Amino acid sequence: MLTTIVPVYNGERYLPATLQCLAAQTRRPDRIIVLDNCSTDQTQSIVRNFSALKCEWRQHERNIGLLANLNHALRFAAETQVLHLLMADDLVKPTFYERLLAALAAAPGHSLAYSFHEDIDLAGGVIGPAKRQPAGGPAGAVRKSSFLGRQAGLNTVLLPGVVFKTDYQLPVCEFREFPQIADCLFLAEWAAQCRQIVAVPEYLCQYRLHPFNATSSNIHNLQSWVLDEWRVMQMILPWIEENATIHWLRGQKLACLFAARSWVKVDMMRRIKPEYAFQIQATMRQTVGPIPALLGWLALRGRDALWRWQGRDTKAETLLKAGIQ
């Protein structure tokens, strides 16, 4: 029993493509529920008139916000064996469910399987990732410490690229109030308590970068866009079981990584809102200190130089071109 939940608010722009990607699956979901957060556009009409497969449309009495809508979606875990949360502007490729359900077949209850993901632009063209992981080959179990280490470094698995084996049980965690990065923390918290993690080494999910997604809506909020990243890093870090020396080194690495990510944001905002760029820079320095700030800056400048030499845009340039501003 596979249930796919599609949380949506005013999704008329991309929802048809998302529903169509479900209809194109080699193994279709047994149940598709669109959780409408009081849309004011044609979302309801799109769902009700979609003839390629049956979809349930449910609307809240009021707009409860994205995270509350996601937590409402989690309640359906008790009604299914496998749960998938697919955002209304993202896509999965035709063999997504076939491959991930096969990977979970032998896994015990309260497990998860995930695939790699690509970034796409408004028109669906692939624009990332800049560095692709080796794809192909069989699915394989992932060590919990390895998965949590990547999540702590915000090298997160994409939420729509994950299926959860719930075995008709409610989840042990929910999405917390981190508007920009709640999915990263949720996946880490689930993984910390789950019984098995399985990776399917294929690019089967696509994340759409556009001016209307959560990144764009939170980008001018210093707490959500910048400081929450550091808070989530620090929350996940204690869940990683390793020896004390390696754990300390990981903490130092996370400080430098946070600084480098903040410098990307500074580069973006210098072209749009210079005073905000200065605020991000000052906040980052105050949070991690001058040495991680410097090391993060050097690492980013080295990567930028390499990418320009390869004829590629920097991370800040890629995000700006995608309309994230």
Long-range CB contacts (< 8 A, 24+ apart) of 245-249?
A: none
The residues with which 35 forms a beta bridge, in sequence order, are 7, 58
> How far is the C-alpha of 39 from the C-alpha of 34, rounded, in Å?
12
Q: Quick one: pLDDT at residue 114?
A: 97
Q: What's the DSSP call for residue 24?
A: T
User: Which residue is it, tokens 């995608």?
Assistant: 322
Q: Which residues of the chain have pLDDT under 70?
A: 210-217, 322-325
pLDDT tens by residue, 120-156: 888 888 888 877 887 788 999 999 999 999 999 999 9
- pLDDT, residue 216, reads 57
pLDDT at 158: 93
pLDDT at 135: 79
**H or E segment at 67?**
helix 66-74
> CA–CA separation, 275 vs 261, rounded Å?
18
CB-CB contact of 48 with 73 (8 Å): no
Q: What is the pTM of this model?
A: 0.91
Question: What pairing do the DSSP bridges indicate for beta strands 162-165 and 111-120?
Answer: antiparallel
Q: What is the pLDDT of residue 57?
A: 94
Q: At what angle do helices 244-270 and 144-152 cross, to 10 degrees?
A: 30
The C-alpha atoms of residue 10 and residue 44 are separated, in whole angstroms, by: 9
3-class DSSP state for residue 121?
coil
Both structure tokens of 270: 């210098």
Whole-angstrom distance, CA of residue 203 vs CA of residue 294: 34
Q: Which tens digit of pLDDT belongs to each residue from 143-202? A: 999 999 999 999 999 999 999 999 999 988 999 999 889 999 999 999 999 999 999 999
User: Residue 129: what pLDDT?
Assistant: 82
pLDDT given at position 215: 56
Q: What single DSSP character describes residue 45?
A: H
Taking Cα atoms as reference points, which of 81, 204, 195 lies closest to residue 141? 195
For strand 82-85 and strand 126-128, is the pairing parallel, antiparallel, or unpaired? unpaired
Query: Directed axis angle between helix 290-309 and helix 244-270, to 10°?
Result: 60
Sign of CA dihedral 210, 187, 223, 265: negative
